[in-house]
Amino acid sequence: MKPKAKLQTEAQGIKQPLSMMTTELIQTLVNNYRANQLLSIRETMGIEDAHSIQFDFTTLKRFIYDIETLALEGNSGINAEDLGIRFYYAAYPNAENWGIMGDTPIGIECAEMHTLVMVPTIKRKGEDGEIGNYDFNPLDINGKGTSAKAFGKDSGIDPEFVCQNHGNLVPPDNSKTELF
């Protein structure tokens, strides 16, 4: 059997090994979720929850571009290397409370299903002196930028926060395109 070449990618001039897992490990992790968390949701809440979410490249690349552009334009002291994205596990409201979704394009068929909310992060030194990746709103630049630690979680910051939410949830989207 011929040994595989060690694949590398280059982003922003930095060579890194290609991030890979075996299909067996991926399937095991997916099966663990379905046999535990997804089953628990089904049994306790009585709903068929989504088990995957898909985002197209254009959406992801635009989100990353927007974070970087807004942050760097708003504060020259920010380095792109300090920016990141946190994925929050979230759930849509039930059908009775769907009105809070406003004019989002997300349909009521997603009521109570879990989703992901992606929020920008910025690497900063906290009050304790330790470096951490803090939630960050590049729309609210004021010297250091708005981060969770700088202003507290309930600080009354601008209610409009740069984020990305809805991709294609499966279900309600068709699972025939999934490998795992």
Q: What letter represents residue 106's amino acid?
A: I
Question: What mean pLDDT do residues 53-75 have?
Answer: 90
How far is 85 from 37, CA to CA, in rounded Å? Answer: 24
Burial of 132 (0-12, 13-18, 19+ CB in 10 A): middle
Q: Any residues with CB less than 8 A from the CB of 56 and at least 6 apart, and which?
A: 167
The strand pair at 8-11 and 131-137 is best described as: unpaired
DSSP secondary-structure letter at 164? Answer: B
Name the one residue in this structure whose structure tokens are 């409370």.
97
With 70 as the cut, is the pLDDT of residue 9 above it? no
Confidence (pLDDT) at 167: 81
Question: What mean pLDDT do residues 10-19 have?
Answer: 72
The neighbouring-strand residues paired with 87 are 118
With 90 as the cut, is the pLDDT of residue 65 above it? yes
- Least-confidence region, from 14-28, 114-128, 137-151, 155-169: 137-151
How far from the centroid of its chain's Cα atoms is residue 132's Cα? Answer: 17
172 contacts 166 by C-beta, under 8 angstroms: no
In this predicted model, what pLDDT tens digit does every residue of 93-119 receive, in sequence order?
999 999 999 988 899 999 999 999 999
Question: What mean pLDDT do residues 71-87 have?
Answer: 86
Share of the chain above pLDDT 70, in %: 81
pTM for this entry: 0.79
How far is 36 from 32, CA to CA, in rounded Å? Answer: 6
Q: Any residues with CB less than 8 A from the CB of 135 and at least 6 apart, and which?
A: 86, 119, 120, 121, 147, 148
